[in-house]
Every structure is written in structure tokens, then in C-alpha cells.
Amino acid sequence: MTQQARVIGDTLLKVESISLGFGGVQALSNISFDIKKHEIRAIIGPNGAGKTSMLNVINGFYHPQEGAITFKGEVRRAMRPHEAAKQGIARTFQNVALFKGMSTLDNIMTGRNLRMSKNIFWQMLYLGPARREEMEHRQRVEEIIDFLEIQAIRRTPVGRLPYGLQKRVELARALAMEPELLLLDEPMAGMNVEEKEDMCRFILDVNEQFGTTIALIEHDMGVVMDISDRVVVLDYGRKLADGTPDEVRGNQDVIDAYLGVPHDEGDG
């Protein structure tokens, strides 16, 4: 894996005037923001604000009725998730979506799938080139296992792991794609303090060591304020605020809508 310095660069992804509705429900209306290279961008908002919809739009799962998405300088429309993946967008899910019966190692190997060039027949024979390819990919996967400190569960079926570790395996699988943009949907939901701290450290390390751009949804305000470079706030499908954690923290609309009561620290 390449080691890149962490310098916030040009715009990597831009969403402009996105509107998305399901029948009578307007999930997103007229949302615009951008994500810059190498930054950690948080999307926050109360339940039902449209955060996950926004991620689904970015990775091509939902197709907005209006608006444009520009990724790496190219405007795109109506893209399927696997095409987004090929372009370098990986994600994790709010409810862990792993293959429960497969080992940690195999789950992470699936993240390499798009990068494998040999077809299934070669892979079944496991001869010559297919074998070499598998070994190269395994090497990458082992680096990620080392990085996320999950050596001990390498061979454990994912279904037997506690939730916090499953989340880590899911992050590992997303990293195995070597994405340019990593979308994390509530990476810390349901974790205890210690697991949250570990996860924070991993997110920062990924961002720092691999230079991966990260967009994350998170409810824990302490975490968001600590690790993000910029925060966009959604409420009822509208954009409420956009800026650095400090700016967002001081924004009266945000305090009213999201934090509920006026707060001194804003880290509730």
C-alpha cells in the first residue's frame, strides 16, 4: 500500500442540488456539498435526516431525481454500485453486511474481488497465474489484518465475532478494495467506549497512512467533532450547515435542530 502524506487536496467528489424522493417522501432536497481529497468529512443529523440516503446516492445505490455528482472531475449519473466500486468508492453498512459463515480472512478477500483478473476456472484450478495472483492479494489482505490488529480472528467465522469486531472486519473488507473514497455508515454504532476509541484510531490511521478520503455518518458528537475536518449537517433532507466542527458547533440552527438544547460543549 502506498503511503501518502496527509495534505488536503482538491475536490474529489462534488454533489450539486441533489434531490431524492420515494413516492411522497422527499428524502433529500437540493443538497450540495463537496468532499476534498484526503479529508475526513462527517455527515450528521437526527434520525431520518437523510444521511444514509446521501451515502446511497454517492455509491450509486439510489439514483437522485435531480442534481449531479462529480467524482474525480467527471459528472456521472445513474451508476450501479459495482461501477462506483470500480471507480474507487468503498463503503461499510449501518447493519453489518458480511458473509456470516465465512472466516474473517475470506470476507476480506472478497474485497479484493474487483482487483482479481483471473476467471473462476483459473481460480478453481488454483494453478500457476491464479495461484500467484491469490498470493499477491493475500499479502495485501494480511497487511490490512495487521493494520487493524485482527490477527487473532483470522480464521474465525464472522458470525461468531462480537459486533465491534464485525464492524472492524467490515472496515477491513472495504479497505481491501484500496478505495479512494471510503464511506462509513455509523462505524461506531453499538460500540462501547473502548471499541469506539479503537475505531477512531483506525479511521485516523487509515486516513493518515493510506491517504484515503473518508466520509462518515456518526451519531456520537464527541467522535465527530474530534476526528472530522469538515461536517455537513442534514435535517429532514435539507442541508442545515456545512463547515469545520467549530463552525458547526456554534451554528444556532444546528443546536436547535440536532442537539436539541443549547449546549456549552456540544459533545453530548
Q: Which stretch binds another protein (CB under 8 A): 20-28, 57-65, 150-158, 260-268?
A: 150-158
Residue 44 makes CB contacts below 8 A (sequence gap 6+) with: 51, 217, 218, 219, 221, 224, 231, 232, 233, 234, 248, 258
Is 247 a binding residue for another protein by CB under 8 A? The answer is: no
Q: Which stretch binds another protein (CB under 8 A): 37-45, 141-149, 235-243, 248-256?
A: 141-149
Q: Give φ, ψ of 32 to 5 degrees.
A: -135, 130
Rule CB under 8 A: choose which of 10, 136, 143, 226 binds another protein. Answer: 143
Quick one: 63 or 201, whose CB is closer to another protein?
Answer: 201
**Location of C-alpha cell 487509515:** 206
Is 139 a binding residue for another protein by CB under 8 A? The answer is: yes
Is 193 a binding residue for another protein by CB under 8 A? The answer is: yes
Shortest spacing between CB 152 and another protein, in angstroms: 4
Of 207, 224, 130, nearest to 171 by C-alpha is 207
- For residues 73-112, which are near another protein according to CB under 8 A? none
- For residues 151-170, which are near another protein according to CB under 8 A? 151-152, 154-155
What count of residues does the chain have? 268
Is 246 a binding residue for another protein by CB under 8 A? The answer is: no
Shortest spacing between CB 266 and another protein, in angstroms: 20
Question: What count of other Cβ atoms lies within 10 Å of the Cβ of residue 146?
Answer: 10
Rule CB under 8 A: choose which of 209, 229, 236, 238 binds another protein. Answer: 209
Q: How far apart are the C-alpha atoms of 171 and 155, rounded to whole Å?
A: 17
Q: Give φ, ψ of 74 to 5 degrees.
A: -115, 130
Is 14 a binding residue for another protein by CB under 8 A? The answer is: no
Quick one: 3 or 95, whose CB is closer to another protein?
Answer: 3
- The 3-state DSSP class for residue 119 equals coil
Q: Are 228 and 8 in contact (CB under 8 A)?
A: no
List the strands of the sheet with 181-185, edge to edge.
89-92, 181-185, 213-217, 40-44, 230-235, 238-243
Residues binding another protein (CB under 8 A)? 3, 6, 138-139, 142-143, 145-147, 149, 151-152, 154-155, 193-194, 197, 205, 208-209
